[in-house]
């Protein structure tokens, strides 16, 4: 199963690198949203510092939803997904590899870029570190939850809109705890609770969502 996981991961990463424009769209959207907010709300340093956590997390959330409908779409169109489901290995292993590949090409670049973008909001160094760690833990949860919506809307017309409608309400706890950790750090409060809850959401998502995604794929294919 480990070999299967690595093969699917390598394959999806290779295909993603051939479609670099899809990666740049999500990353460009994240950069533009974060950079335009200070122009709209004004240059007041204290105000920017207070709203930085929410802006960065909302931008990351919206950016991650842009590519969700493409996690399984290409494999569904060419019949690869159906062959994967006929394999003797658990579909959850292949699903987990595909979601990891999606996060590596869409979520991880946002995480790595976030400290640089946070500087324009005047966040202190400790808060930037909390932002980086919260996104590092939280964005995989966004990908796992988003993959559920992508599986359930696979093959439907207007599936991209439906994915957003299904996924965004489910990601609210991640948004609350992620932005709350950064805000708590800015205010000088304890951040461990927020980060622990994010870690719990990640652990729960890793344990449960691959099975749910696999069931959603079977429903969509059948």
Q: What is the pLDDT of residues 118-138, one digit of tens each?
A: 888 888 889 999 999 999 999
Tokens for 24, please give them: 């740049």
* pLDDT above 80 for 21: no
Query: For the chain, what percent of residues have pLDDT higher than 70?
Result: 97
Q: What angle, 0 to 180 degrees and rounded to 10, lies between the N-to-C axes of helices 91-102 and 2-18?
A: 40
Tokens 């809850």: give the residue.
197
Q: Model confidence over 208-220: pLDDT tens digits?
A: 998 888 888 888 7
Tokens for 112, please give them: 């790595």
* pLDDT above 70 for 160: no
pTM, full prediction = 0.89
Whether 97 contacts 12, CB under 8 Å: yes
C-alpha–C-alpha distance, residues 62 and 168, integer Å: 9
Q: Which residue has the higher pLDDT, 173 or 38?
A: 173
Q: Model confidence over 52-83: pLDDT tens digits?
A: 888 999 999 888 888 787 788 777 877 777 77
Residue 142: band (very low, low, confident or very high) from pLDDT cuts 50, 70, 90: very high
Q: What is the pLDDT of residue 141?
A: 94
Q: Within 13 Å and on the Cβ side, how many CA atoms surround 162?
A: 14
Mean pLDDT score, 153-169: 75
Mean pLDDT computed over every residue of the chain: 85
* pLDDT above 80 for 164: no
Q: What is the pLDDT of residue 157?
A: 67
């Amino acid at each position: 199963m480990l070999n299967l996981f690595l093969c699917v991961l390598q394959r999806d990463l290779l295909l993603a690198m051939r479609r670099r424009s899809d990666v740049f769209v999500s990353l460009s959207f994240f950069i533009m949203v974060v950079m335009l907010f200070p122009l709209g709300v004004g240059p007041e340093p204290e105000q920017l510092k207070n709203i930085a956590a929410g802006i960065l997390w909302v931008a990351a959330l919206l950016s991650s939803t842009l590519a969700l409908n493409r996690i399984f779409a290409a494999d569904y169109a060419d019949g690869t997904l159906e062959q994967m489901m006929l394999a003797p290995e658990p579909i959850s292993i292949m699903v987990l590899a595909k979601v990891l590949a999606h996060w590596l090409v869409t979520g991880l670049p946002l995480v790595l870029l976030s400290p640089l973008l946070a500087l324009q909001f005047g966040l202190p160094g400790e808060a930037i570190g909390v932002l980086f760690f919260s996104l590092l833990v939280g964005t995989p949860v966004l990908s796992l939850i988003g993959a559920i919506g992508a599986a359930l809307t696979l093959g439907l017309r207007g599936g991209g809109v439906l994915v957003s409608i299904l996924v965004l309400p489910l990601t609210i706890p991640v948004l609350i705890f992620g932005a709350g950790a950064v805000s708590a750090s800015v205010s000088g409060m304890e951040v461990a609770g927020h980060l622990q809850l994010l870690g719990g959401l990640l652990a729960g998502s890793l344990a449960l969502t691959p099975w749910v995604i696999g069931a959603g794929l079977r429903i969509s294919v059948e």
